[in-house]
Chain A
Amino acid sequence: MFAFLVRRVFAGVIMLIVMSLVVFGLFFASPVDVAAFACGKNCSPAIKEQTRKALGYDDPTLVQWKDFMVGIAKGREYPNDPELREAAPQLVASCDAPCFGYSQVNSRTVNEEISKAFPITVSLAVVALIIWLTVGIALGCIAALTKGSFLDRGLVGISLVFYAFPTFFIGLLLLKFVSIKWGLWDIPEYTSIADGGVGAWLYNLILPSVTLAVVFMAAYVRMTRAFVLEAMSEDYIRTAHSKGLSRGRVLRKHTLRAALTPLVTMAGLDFAGLLGGAIITEYVFNFNGLGKLAVDANQNYDLPTIIGLVVLAASFVILMNIIVDVLYAVIDPRVRLG
């Protein structure tokens, strides 16, 4: 187990390094002149070059990448120009390890941006996960147990229909009709638990989370249904039935358990993907999570933020893959690691 973990983490780190290199290569090949953008209009060539230097974009891409990696490992200080830092220490913004960079567009370190946005994204992802798992699994079970009935087809069908509408359409329906036009729900505005308590936090998260959950729900309904049906045809379930155990008990004790493993795997990976930011949902509801941060950064050619977010999102996925593998072994004793 330990050897497995070490090996996986090592592989994950290598992958992140390769990825950051790819990302740097891609973004710094971009035709958009970031310095000209930061410098604004009526910017003379000489001033533009100064801006470029101040942003650290005058170094070769590889050097910038190296600085980035050093920042991740040891932290960094901005502005990039050591002379300037020495002459005017009041300017220095220090960025502790793991430092993802400094966003000139937002005048703060990418770490600060992430630390502000991350709680919002996590809240959204967690509430959505709970909604789609509970509702999805419940509906899936009902569908499986009433296999072939009108109810079965209806549940599977409706979840599919909701899934098939574009996410932003569902979000806009909730926002513009449920919230604004009919006034059934206040316009969601993220409120942290510290500011408004659990109640306000949850209240404001419901509409965006439902939007997000609807996307995933259909797959979970169908999966749960399929796994429950498959498990019900397994010999040990038949045995349990023939022992005279009640249907509900068999379902809880045996069937669901067997179906749980793949569901946990899938939920883990979906959740990890969301941690990188639910771009569309956050954009629709104006939640300043990582996804919205990414869209804004993209509009402003805020390269350090984009790069930071890509690397962060990827590390969530990689980390979750490792966790899922371990969980898998814990839940299902047949799986051997190594």
Chain B
Amino acid sequence: MASKKKRMLAVTAGALLASTVLAACGSGDDDKKSEGAGETGGTLYFNVEKPIDHWDPQRTYVGTDISKQSRLVYRELVTFGTSEDAVESAKPLPDLATDTGTASDGGKVWQFTLRDGVKWEDGSDITCEDLKYGLSRNFATDVIVGGPAFYILSYLDIPADADGTPQYKGPYTKKGQDLFDKAVTCDGKTITYNFNKPWPDFNLAIAALHFASPYRAEKDQGDKSNYSVFSSGPYKLEGTWEKESGGTFVRNPEYDKATDDTDSRNALPDKIVFKMGTKLETTYDAILANKGDAACTVSDNRLPPSKFSEIPNVQDRYQNPDSPYADYLWFNTKKLPLEVRQALAMATNREGWIAAGGGERAYTPAYSVVNPAVAGYKEVPTYKDIPLAGDPDAAKKILDEAGIKTPYKIEIRYPQSETADKQAAALKDTWDKAGFTVTLSPEGDVYYSNIQKPDHNYDVGWAGWGADWPSPMTVLPPLFDSRANIQGGSLGQDYGKYEGKAFNDKITEAQNATDLDTQITLLQEADQILADDMVYMPLEIAKFNWVTGKNVDFHTTPGSNSFPDLGLIGLRNGGC
């Protein structure tokens, strides 16, 4: 499940912002930092198991890839820092812009002014036209595919065609270019964005996603540029990027640290070598065995449970931060009666699930879909009352009392992996005992698009979610508010087809709340409504396990989703 989750969380951002970057990392106590701070210089090896899909900023939509781009090669108008504090790290910092932007007309107009002296890797200035061109690429939906373009497509003040798509068709065909030129204007170094509705957190959106990244028009070859990197950051790509094997980043002499106020680009190593494709087990075997370059290697993939037994040997280079995510099971509320959902929840063996996934180093049990690091987190008593190992007898009783015939057939869906297979089998074990007949249906990469289909007939499925920023407002509504999710041939993130009027009303109330405390209380009540309706069953909070080569000064921050933060990582002991 691990590798899938990363993608999923970034990609299913949905109604609000992308759930990409923010949210809390655990308190620092379990991060036992190893000796020796990183020094400047050396070559860092960065192993990634699955190929990176895009380097094109407008097409990138995976949270950790966005964070890599920000730290290494792409500067944005605003970006996120490296603070360990969740709330602090969720604030955009000025990067290419002189400040974090000015909103006017109730958030319908945004203005940013470019800094002086910011340059591309060829020494030319980054201009307002570059920003404008970058944004325009989102509209070429037949060429620039896979990215988070839909936000800007729906917000930018451009009239729509009969099919609902904007009349501007991107910089290649230039159809409707005048409309775009009116919506985004340049005045010297100042860029102005005009939206058709208020976008109060636009600056947060462009720090989290790169759809508004500047792009130099001459460098644009459409799809052919997918793996081109034209850098504005401290590194540049040496040679070309090979999707299967990776590429090498070296220092970009045109990058001027003096123009960069952020704390997120320490750029310590002289060289960063991306190695793609090596299986994460092999990477970790090498790191653990301290073979060759492995002493200077960081993996972009977490230590798998099968290697946990090695942790005591490498305690000094091991970190175990909480992730900003929570995993849960959704129930099909349109298909399963309430009592069946309650019985399933009662017999859910969270302990077995956690043990099958690697035990307490990999997870802590969850008592809500809201991550504990989120402001106003509260354990839901309903979930607290269910024994961690599940209670099949109590579950059976619920079924019997409701007069539901057993054995009751249940099919559980989840994205396939060796670990997930075991975890799902742990659920089956106790569910079967409670009177269900459980079938496991693992799926491949099509999992998320399948469970978003409005006509799906699935019973139960796995899902994970991380807050966009540390407020339950970015958890409950995007997952369960039917009004925001179920539309246009998709269930959004409301995979269980839940349509609860009481819940929706509570959300409306929370949205209109005048102070934060009231809002939080209302959302806690909303979470209890979900538990009473048994819409979801929280499973666990994933904990990440990182082991790096012995010469790596490792850092992971909320700004990098608890993944390796390439802005801070350096080599010590003279590197390799």
Contact = CB atoms under 8 A, between A and B. Distances in A.
Complex A–B touching at CB under 8 A: yes
A44 interface: yes
Chain A CB within 10 Å, residue with most, of B12, B147, B282: B282
Contact of B163 (A46, A84, A292): A46
A88 B220 CA distance: 10
Interface of A: 32, 36-47, 50-51, 53-54, 78-79, 81, 83-84, 87-88, 90-91, 93, 104, 106-108, 116, 175-176, 180-181, 183, 186-187, 286, 288, 292-293, 296, 299-301
A91 B219 CA distance: 11
A44 B146 contact: no
Given A40-B61, A50-B142, A87 B172 contact: yes
Contacts of B123: none
25 contacts: A37-B445, A40-B146, A41-B11, A41-B12, A42-B148, A44-B488, A45-B488, A46-B165, A47-B153, A50-B141, A53-B142, A54-B145, A79-B142, A79-B222, A81-B142, A84-B142, A84-B172, A88-B172, A91-B222, A93-B224, A176-B282, A183-B289, A186-B292, A286-B282, A296-B244
B14 A42 contact: yes
Contacts of B51: 296
A75 B438 CA distance: 52
Nearest to A43: B150
Q: How large is the interface on B (under 10, 10 to 19, 20 to 34, 35 or more residues)?
A: 35 or more
Given A54-B142, A286-B279, A107 B223 contact: yes
B291 interface: yes
Given A41-B13, A87-B173, 5 more contacts: A44-B488, A45-B488, A93-B224, A180-B291, A288-B244
A32 B172 contact: no
Given A50-B141, A91-B221, A180 B449 contact: no
Given A51-B141, A54-B145, A37 B449 contact: yes
Contact of A83 (B171, B173, B285): B173
B244 A87 contact: no
Contacts of B148: 42
A288 B223 contact: no
A107 B282 contact: no
B164 interface: yes
A90 B141 contact: no
B400 to A, nearest CB: 40
Interface string B259-282: 000000000000000000111001
Q: For chain B, what secondary structure do more than half of its interface residues adopt (helix, strand, loop), or is it mixed? A: loop
Interface string B416-450: 00000000000000000000000000001110110
Contacts of B243: 106-107
B146 A38 contact: yes
B227 interface: yes
A299 B444 contact: yes
Contacts of A187: 282, 286, 291-292
Contact of A40 (B145, B163, B285): B145
Given A84-B172, A93-B223, A46 B11 contact: no
Nearest to B173: A87
B143 interface: yes
B282 A180 contact: yes
A294 to B, nearest CB: 12
A45 B454 CA distance: 14
Interface in B28-53: 51
A84 B173 contact: yes
A90 B174 CA distance: 14
Contacts of A106: 243
Interface string B151-185: 00100000000011100000111100000000000
A90 B14 contact: no
Contacts of A51: 141-142, 145
A293 B244 CA distance: 9
B165 A84 contact: no
Contact of A292 (B173, B220, B222, B244): B244
A87 B142 CA distance: 13
A146 to B, nearest CB: 41
A292 B149 CA distance: 32
A108 B278 CA distance: 22
User: 9 tightest CB-CB pairs across the interface, nearest first?
Assistant: A88-B172, A107-B226, A91-B222, A54-B142, A288-B244, A46-B163, A180-B285, A41-B11, A40-B146
Nearest to A107: B226
Nearest to A38: B145
A39 B448 CA distance: 13
B291 A44 contact: no
Interface string B181-192: 000000000000
B245 interface: yes
B36 to A, nearest CB: 25
B106 interface: no
A50 B146 CA distance: 12
Given A37-B449, A54-B145, A79 B278 contact: no
A39 B146 contact: yes
Nearest to A46: B163
